[in-house]
Amino acid sequence: MNTTHAEAMELVEALKASLTEDVVGETGVIIAPPALFLNDAVESLVENEFIAVAAQNCHQEESGAFTGEISAPMLASLDLDAVIIGHSERRQYFGETNADCKVKIAAALNNELAAIYCIGETLEERKSGQFMEVILQQCAEGLEGFIAEDMDNIILAYEPVWAIGTGEVASPEQAQEVHAGIRAWLSERFDNETAENVTVLYGGSCKPGNAADLFAKEDIDGGLIGGASLNAEDFTAIIQARTNA
What residue ranges of the chain have pLDDT lower than 70? 165, 167
Judge whether 198 and 186 are in contact, CB under 8 Å. yes
The pLDDT of residue 169: 72
Q: Which of 225, 199, 196, 198 is nearest to 210 (CA)?
A: 225
pLDDT tens figures, 25-58: 999 999 999 999 999 999 999 999 999 999 999 9
DSSP character string of 167-232: S----HHHHHHHHHHHHHHHHHHT-HHHHHHS-EEE-SS--HHHHHHHHTSTT--EE---GGGGSH
Q: Check 96, 125, 159, 179 and give the catalytic one.
A: 159
- Residue 87 catalytic? yes
Q: Check 59, 87, 125, 179 and give the catalytic one.
A: 87
Judge whether 135 and 159 are in contact, CB under 8 Å. no
Looking at domain 5-244, its CATH class is alpha beta
The pLDDT of residue 105: 98
**CB under 8 Å to 63, separation ≥6 — which residues?**
71, 73
Sign of torsion, CA 159 209 10 199? negative
CA 211, CA 194: separation in Å to the nearest integer? Answer: 25
Domain boundaries, the chain: 5-244
